[in-house]
Chain A
Amino acid sequence: DVKVTQSSRYLVKRTGEKVFLECVQDMDHENMFWYRQDPGLGLRLIYFSYDVKMKEKGDIPEGYSVSREKKERFSLILESASTNQTSMYLCASSLNDGRSYEQYFGPGTRLTVT
């Protein structure tokens, strides 16, 4: 089974802090994704990566950056956290084989910025 893990289930940070959310997958997937989930809005794509050191902006990249130094790890960075970034953050991964398109999700990190 594919396993996607996220470093924290719950996180509380103060406004202006730099925040790192870590995601690790163990199935050698090429693609990795970061979403935020808000009530009534579903999942919105923040950033995604098709390969090591490669990143592309999703629909809502403002206020976020990412890092992918190793294939299995994809980090989301909030350079200066703000209260409007309080949300559930979900990481996902998928293969890049032209046949499998389903994404596998981690358990999520609920971030509160005060």
Chain B
Amino acid sequence: AQSVTQPDIHITVSEGASLELRCNYSYGATPYLFWYVQSPGQGLQLLLKYFSGDTLVQGIKGFEAEFKRSQSSFNLRKPSVHWSDAAEYFCAVGAWSNDYKLSFGAGTTVTVRA
């Protein structure tokens, strides 16, 4: 079965600074991967996804993520954070043989200070 680890529980970043959220997965083959964002009191919104091909994927709200097979990682980045990026971020991994189910990380909460 696949699993995913988000090593950082909470990150604080200044507005305008860059942001990187880490995600490591465990799976015997190449998985498909997602990043979701959850604003307070809301459901999860898809930021970006990786299925195959180019390992650098672009998403909404200026986010990008890079798939590194050798490191089993799928880290999320944003060059310049806005106050509205304060939220909880979840990495999710799926297995091609696992019938559309996803495994989610524990989440990383991002606080943006002025």
List A residues at the B interface (Cβ < 8 Å): 4, 9, 31, 33, 35, 40-45, 48, 50, 58, 90, 92, 94, 96, 101-108
Contact = CB atoms under 8 A, between A and B. Distances in A.
Contacts of A33: 101
A40 B108 CA distance: 9
7 contacts: A35-B104, A42-B107, A58-B101, A90-B43, A96-B100, A101-B102, A105-B43
Interface size class of B (residues with CB under 8 A): 20 to 34
Interface stretch (B44-52, B65-73, B75-83): B44-52
Contacts of B94: 101
Interface string B1-45: 000001001000000000000000000000010101000011111
A42 B104 contact: yes
Contacts of A107: 41-43
A40 B46 contact: no
B57 interface: no
B9 A102 contact: no
B110 interface: no
A43 B104 contact: yes
A107 B42 CA distance: 5
A81 to B, nearest CB: 22
B99 interface: yes
Contacts of B46: 102, 104
Contacts of A103: 102
Nearest to B105: A42
Contact of A101 (B36, B44, B51, B90): B51
Nearest to A58: B101
